[in-house]
Amino acid sequence: MSRHLPKIFHCFVWALAFGLCGPLAALTYISTADGPLADSAELIVRARLAGGEVTRRSGRVTTDYDATVLEVLKGHHGGSRLVVRVPGGVALERGFAVRIFGSPSFAGDRNALLFLRVNDDGTYRVLHFVQGAFHETVKGNRRYLERDLSEATEVIVKADGETTVRAAVDQSRDAEAFEAWLRDRASGLERPADYFVSEPNTGRRSSEKFTVLSGPNITIRWFRFDNGRTVRWHRQRDGQTVISGGGAAQFRRARKAWNKSGTPVRLVNAGLSDATGGFARLDGKNTILFRDFNNSIGDDFDCATGGVLAIGGLSDFSASPRSWKQLAPFQAIEAEIVMNDGLDCFLAGQPKIAAQIYTHELGHTLGLGHSCGDARSPDCASSELLANAVMRASLANVVGARLSDDDLTGIRLLYDPEFFAAPCETAAPGQNKFCRQCGPCGEGQGNCRNDSDCYGLLVCDRDSGAEYGFSSGTNVCVDKHP
């Protein structure tokens, strides 16, 4: 098992200067096929998006992207411009930064194919959180469309109720062929998909590295466990209506799984609560909401077409990093799990799946990212150890509230004071063999030997240490991906 240091630098600036660097959340969804996705969109456009404007209204932070409409493939839009609003955003000059994992983001002056629904105020939202956002790339003389699902967990259920595996990454589509298919479907002509290209856009490296929930460039842990304190979890009073007991037993098993990890982690029951703030507003409570009271997810789940199941993560954490082993994590303060509306059809008679979703989302609230199966982690098929992890990015087997060895390794890195404590406790980035012995290294850290000593998609840049405060002969892990 390799070890890793997350990328932890840029967000330090945000937190120290502006006092806030949250929330962090991760997305769980069931894929919606292109046909139902197109059918349920009110508007499908090819558009060019400018940089986003971050605003905060009634405590909710969103980013508004100004989009120039290049073509309308479905629906009607009277003007040449529209506003696409997505949850979260960073406004450094105004002192707030909200990072919701799985929320779509767009680089300025780039084209995208967008499946949209209109909001009450006339702005538009991306259908099913991120599934309706296709980013356009050009290779040679051809345009391609790909979705960024790297921060999502995909649950895959076959027609017979069994589960199968597919990593939460998207397969490339030929843009012209896909757009022609969408025009035909909008006009009433349904035909087989003829637009997928042979190579999926995985963008991953096949090495064994558990991950922590970090982004952008941040690591989170609960320091209160270190002195014997607990994290109290409330259950919103309505409960999971189709699960016996409202999901109380399943949520208890999920907490117990992490409590038995051999670490100081202690997640305890705080009982029922009427609090419904979730990610929309801080209330001083860690709460699992069994409905999307604040429309944080947007579109309801539909068993016929799929959609988002749940989001979970940190809604509040400290303004300054603290010391922990070779990491410099921020202190978790408040966490949330939000289950989507419309889940009754999916969770009815499936208490084990409910327990597994709760366990996975609790892992995110503890600071863990995906073990495998997204763009920031290895392929799940590369290792049996990774394939059995509850923190993998897709549901392969229904195991309920059970941790694998990889999950245990990740949680021990964050919370076990004896795990990897020496010699890394006193080692410093830049020392000889630091990345091999105490890493993988994050961006701007050294000394690496090759790319496998660097976290995620970072590469080992030889003799570049002088740019990062090390000696000129130090090799440093850097991000060279566009």
CATH classification at residue 369: 3.40.390.10
> What is the pLDDT at residue 317?
76
Please give the chain's pLDDT, 482 residues, in tens: 222 222 222 221 112 222 233 333 456 666 788 999 999 999 999 999 987 888 877 667 788 999 999 999 999 998 899 999 987 776 545 545 555 656 788 877 889 999 999 998 899 999 888 889 999 999 888 999 988 776 666 665 555 555 443 444 568 999 999 999 999 999 999 999 999 997 544 333 323 334 444 444 457 899 999 999 999 999 999 999 999 999 999 999 999 999 999 899 999 999 999 999 888 888 889 999 999 998 888 788 888 777 788 888 777 777 677 888 767 788 888 999 999 999 898 889 889 989 999 999 899 899 887 777 666 667 777 777 777 788 877 666 778 898 988 888 889 888 988 775 555 656 677 788 788 767 677 778 888 888 877 766 678 999 888 888 888 899 998 877 65
Residues 262 and 312 in one domain: yes
> What is the pLDDT at residue 24?
39
Task: Copy the structure tokens of residue 16.
Answer: 């120290």
Is residue 460 one of the residues assigned to a domain?
A: yes
Question: Is the bond leading into 429 cis (omega within 30 degrees of zero)?
Answer: no
Residues 333 and 357 in one domain: yes
pTM: 0.62
d(CA 358, CA 250): 8
Q: Which helix (DSSP H) or strand (DSSP E) does residue 84 occupy?
A: strand 81-87
> What is the pLDDT at residue 319?
64
Is residue 420 one of the residues assigned to a domain?
A: no
Task: Copy the structure tokens of residue 481.
Answer: 């991906």
> What is the pLDDT at residue 136?
92
Is residue 160 one of the residues assigned to a domain?
A: no
Residues 243 and 313 in one domain: yes
Residues 304 and 411 in one domain: yes
**For the chain, how many structural domains are there in total?**
3
> What is the pLDDT at residue 482?
52
Is residue 429 one of the residues assigned to a domain?
A: no
Residues 396 and 348 in one domain: yes
Residues 334 and 218 in one domain: yes
Q: Which helix (DSSP H) or strand (DSSP E) does residue 271 occupy?
A: strand 267-273
Residues 226 and 366 in one domain: yes
The residues, any chain, with a CB within 8 Å of residue 112's CB and separated by 6 or more, are: 46, 47, 48, 49, 106, 133, 134, 135, 136
Residues 267 and 314 in one domain: yes
CATH number for the domain spanning 81: value is 2.40.50
Is residue 164 one of the residues assigned to a domain?
A: no
Is residue 157 one of the residues assigned to a domain?
A: no
Domain of 467, in residue numbers: 434-478
Is residue 98 one of the residues assigned to a domain?
A: no
Task: Copy the structure tokens of residue 45.
Answer: 């456009």
Chain-centre distance for alpha carbon 258: 20
Is residue 155 one of the residues assigned to a domain?
A: no
> What is the pLDDT at residue 237?
95
Residues 82 and 142 in one domain: yes
Per DSSP, which regions of 100-139 are E strands? 110-118, 124-126, 133-139
The answer to whether 263 and 412 have CB atoms below 8 angstroms apart is yes
Residues 227 and 363 in one domain: yes
Q: Work out the end-to-end distance of the chain between its first and last CA atoms, rounded to an integer number of angstroms.
A: 29
> What is the pLDDT at residue 235?
97
> What is the pLDDT at residue 474?
92
d(CA 154, CA 168): 5
Instruction: Examine the fold and report which residue of 361, 384, 415 is the final residue of a domain before the chain moves on.
Output: 415
Residues 139 and 174 in one domain: yes
Residues 411 and 453 in one domain: no
